[in-house]
């Protein structure tokens, strides 16, 4: 027997909406938690610069390396006290390592103990520094953006 009452039609409609919501929610979760990195928007003066970055979010940001205070530096290595994990991380510096100082070209000799840096590891060896950003700028005083300018 086929029930075509308004109550039955409403039940079928609600069931279809629920199934659609679960399907789209699962798809959104899968996309958001996929292991494939996604680029994040970065302005030319941001810490990621022309090199781009990995997907936002704590678990993926770790692929970018360490951000924190330099506890030791030499011509061949740098140790950073990572402000996110409260652990030291040492990276090898080699001839391919580039240094930027607040958006300008810099050198390893510009880095001193106590400096704030963002170290991005090599894509082939996470213990090698590919890029070191000294005094990184995140677009106006943080991830919120803005110019940081005030008027009196």
> How many CA atoms lie within 13 Å of 8's alpha carbon, on the beta-carbon side?
5
Residue 146: inside a domain, yes or no?
Answer: no
The boundaries of the domain holding residue 23 are 7-35
Domain co-membership, 101 together with 65: yes
Residue 76: inside a domain, yes or no?
Answer: yes
Residue 151: inside a domain, yes or no?
Answer: no
Domain co-membership, 13 together with 65: no
Distance CA 152, CA 24 (A): 49
pLDDT digit string, tens, across residues 6-43 = 677 778 877 777 777 776 676 666 666 554 444 433 33
126-to-1, 24, 47, 83 alpha-carbon distances in Å: 66, 35, 19, 18
CATH of residue 78: 2.40.50
Residue 24: inside a domain, yes or no?
Answer: yes
pLDDT at 127: 93
């Amino acid at each position: 027997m086929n029930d075509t009452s308004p109550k039955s039609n409403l039940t079928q409609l609600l069931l279809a909406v629920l199934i659609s919501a679960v399907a789209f929610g699962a798809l959104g979760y899968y996309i958001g938690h996929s292991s494939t990195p996604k680029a994040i928007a970065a302005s030319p003066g941001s810490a990621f610069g022309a090199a781009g970055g990995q997907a936002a979010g704590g678990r993926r940001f770790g692929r970018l390396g360490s951000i924190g205070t330099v506890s030791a530096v030499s011509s061949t290595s740098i140790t950073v006290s990572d402000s996110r994990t409260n652990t030291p991380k040492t990276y090898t510096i080699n001839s391919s390592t580039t240094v930027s100082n607040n958006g300008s070209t810099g050198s390893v000799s510009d880095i001193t103990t106590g400096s704030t840096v963002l170290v991005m590891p090599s894509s082939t060896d996470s213990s090698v520094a590919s890029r070191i950003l000294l005094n990184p700028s995140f677009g106006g005083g943080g991830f919120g953006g803005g110019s940081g300018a005030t008027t009196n």
